Amino acid sequence: MQDEIEIDQLNISGNLRYLTDYTGFSDEVSEQGGNYLALCFSVPGIPDATITVTLVGGEQEPVAVGTSGVFVFRITSTDQSIAVRVSAPYRRAVNRTYNLMAVTLEHVAECGTLHCGETP
């Protein structure tokens, strides 16, 4: 799904492979192909924190994977960004927006029509 993902300040970099038939994001067939990014968000030491995650410039909202803090995003352009808001009772909310300009999106032509690494 992804290689060498790094977050440096407000910049996300790395490689997103193109996947087909990926049902972990959606039951909708039209959303089961593309470049996906999985990130984990947590606030250590603040168990009552609420984390809100939004894909800015995307058509689909990120998908939460259980209650683990892992979110999966379907990335269609490096012009998109990921907005995160953390709030907790009696604390000031914190907002951060991470850009994807340094992310490389592998295209379907680079990996064929099947899962990357397989030959058509």
Q: Is residue 71 part of a domain?
A: yes
Cβ atoms < 10 Å from Cβ of 58: 16
Q: Is residue 116 part of a domain?
A: no
Q: Residue 15 sits in a domain of what CATH number?
A: 2.60.40
Q: Is residue 30 part of a domain?
A: yes
Each residue's pLDDT, cut to its tens digit, for the chain (120 residues) gives: 898 999 999 999 999 999 888 888 888 888 888 999 999 999 999 888 999 999 999 877 777 776 788 999 999 999 999 999 999 999 999 999 999 999 999 987 555 554 554 443
Q: Is residue 77 part of a domain?
A: yes
Q: Is residue 118 part of a domain?
A: no
d(CA 38, CA 48) in angstroms, rounded, equals 23
Q: Is residue 117 part of a domain?
A: no
Q: Quote the strand ranges of the chain, DSSP E.
A: 2-8, 11-16, 18-19, 34-40, 50-56, 63-65, 70-75, 81-87, 94-105
CA-nearest of 64, 61, 68 to 82 is 61
Quote the pLDDT of residue 33. 87
Number of domains the chain is built from:
1
Question: By residue range, what is the domain housing residue 57?
Answer: 2-111
